[in-house]
Chain A
Amino acid sequence: DTEVTQTPKHLVMGMTNKKSLKCEQHMGHRAMYWYKQKAKKPPELMFVYSYEKLSINESVPSRFSPECPNSSLLNLHLHALQPEDSALYLCASSQGQVMNTEAFFGQGTRLTVV
């Protein structure tokens, strides 16, 4: 199984809502990532978890809150988002440090904030 599964595939939320994005992998990878991708742009790293601990936060606003409940799951909790937060949110995982191993990406969650 070389899949990273993200749910939901699409999400529309209001600026006062609270929602969560979920990511799951069963490859035994110990590093998991959240990326944000705006249209016609490359993915931008948001967070990195290594061995279930947050190791990198790329100065992401606090309205985005990551959580890694166990080694297979990664969540991204969303609260009080802005329309400019609308984007494709990609989850990825890797066996080791992504700089020298392959990162596997999920299909993404298309988020629209209204």
Chain B
Amino acid sequence: AQSVTQPDIHITVSEGASLELRCNYSYGATPYLFWYVQSPGQGLQLLLKYFSGDTLVQGIKGFEAEFKRSQSSFNLRKPSVHWSDAAEYFCAVGAREYGNKLVFGAGTILRVKS
């Protein structure tokens, strides 16, 4: 069955340090890939998306992600984390086999220490 895996439930980084959040998916073809961020008690905001083309995509708030077909991964990165980045991050996958819906990973909670 298709799945989205975020192996890290929690990650803590120091303010100013770099960040990488991992996402792996299980799917045969190239899916549509998304990263969303959610602050506590809030809705989800799209950070970036990959459909095709350049495998390194830039998003809002200084985030970027790289699609690696060989590793079935779509990891999210940021070179320098700010305290306001503390939130929960969800990787999501859309594919024709899923129908008109996204499949979300379990999420990674990011804590930023000063």
A-side interface residues toward B, CB under 8 Å? Answer: 4, 6, 31, 33, 40-43, 45, 48, 50, 55-56, 88, 90, 92, 97-100, 102-108, 110
Contacts and interface: CB of A to CB of B under 8 A. Distances in A.
Of B43, B104, B105, B107, the most chain A CB neighbours within 10 A belong to B43
The SS class assigned to the A binding surface is strand
A98 B102 CA distance: 7
Given A41-B106, A98-B94, A100-B51, A108 B101 contact: no
Contacts of A43: 44, 90, 104
Interface of B: 31-32, 34, 36, 41-46, 49, 51, 90, 94-96, 98-102, 104-107
B98 to A, nearest CB: 6
Contacts of A98: 94, 100-102
Contacts of B102: 45, 98-99, 103
A31 B99 CA distance: 13
Contact of A100 (B36, B90, B94, B105): B94
A90 B106 contact: no
B101 A42 contact: no
Given A41-B106, A97-B94, A106-B43, 7 more contacts: A45-B102, A98-B94, A98-B102, A99-B96, A99-B100, A100-B51, A107-B43
Given A88-B41, A110-B41, A56 B46 contact: no
A91 to B, nearest CB: 8
B32 A99 contact: yes
A6 B104 CA distance: 21
A21 B43 CA distance: 15
A107 B43 CA distance: 4
A42 B100 contact: no
A100 B100 CA distance: 9
A56 B99 contact: yes
A55 B100 contact: yes
A40 B51 CA distance: 28
Contacts of B34: 102
A48 B46 contact: no
